[in-house]
Amino acid sequence: MSNRYFPFHALGLQCNPFRALTDDEWADIAVLPDAFIATIERDNAHVQILGARGFGKTTMLLALAARFKRAGKRVAYEYRAEGQSRFTTDADSLDVFLLDEAQRLGSRERNRLLGAASHTRLVLGTHTDFTREFARHGLPLTALRLEPATAAHLAAILQTRLDYFARGESRAITFTPDAIQFLSQRFGGDLRALDHFLYDVFQRLERAEPITAERLRAIL
């Protein structure tokens, strides 16, 4: 068929690599910091992942859910949208329960969640710190805080995304070091805003060639 139906094929890509992703795709492309993996695998403590909006908490939770499943655990992931103050998962039947936007739970629901923590490992994505609540219940809690990505980590994130949506072995499109530095300085830890920006960048691409900082500045 004509390339006008599949414009990204000419760029060596299946599609725009920064389009909206499914939960499974987010889990596949996540680049977990080594320190996070080591902490989570070192003990069986409950975990809270703290970070500002857009820093990648959801991606982290989806990747961890997939990791636990591969290890043979009974796992569930649940996202609480704004205005939803209750969780619906039967946490009592699980080995690991991953709850996204846990700060949205009401006080009664938080107590119900902590009641399940005696036999189910909890991994929370949250904007607020649950340390005191866990301590009041005598429960161990490890806090992992998402910080702005370093240039090296950002480079790994972007290359993983390009590789995931590549067609064949061609890797003509890359980000130059100055482009990585520019994106790191411009977006900091807001990976969601970075995704939106790069979606527009890739919609405008006409040739498979390295993406430079100069090219990115011209689009802003």
Please give the structure tokens belonging to residue 7.
Answer: 């414009």
pLDDT of residue 186: 94
At how many degrees (to 10) do helices 177-187 and 191-203 cross? 130
Two tokens, residue 75: 């796992």
> What does DSSP say about strands 121-126 and 46-50: parallel, antiparallel, or unpaired?
parallel
**pLDDT over 90 at 169, yes or no:** no
Report the alpha-carbon distance of residue 86 to residue 102 in Å, rounded.
9
| CA separation for the pair 196, 103 (Å, rounded) | 25
Tokens representing 31 are 């680049």
pLDDT in tens, 21-35: 999 999 999 998 888
Q: What does the pLDDT look like over 146-167, one tens digit per residue?
A: 988 889 999 999 999 999 999 8
Pairing label, strands 75-79, 141-145: unpaired
pLDDT of res. 170: 66
Amino acid making up residue 111: N
pTM of the model: 0.86
Lowest mean pLDDT, pick from 91-105, 117-131, 168-182: 168-182
* Measured distance CA(7)–CA(10) in Å, rounded: 6
Q: Which residue has the tokens 């691409």?
A: 205
Output phi, psi for 32, to 5 deg: -85, 130
For residue 174, how many other CB atoms are within 10 A of its CB? Answer: 16
Q: Which two tokens stand for residue 186?
A: 């411009």
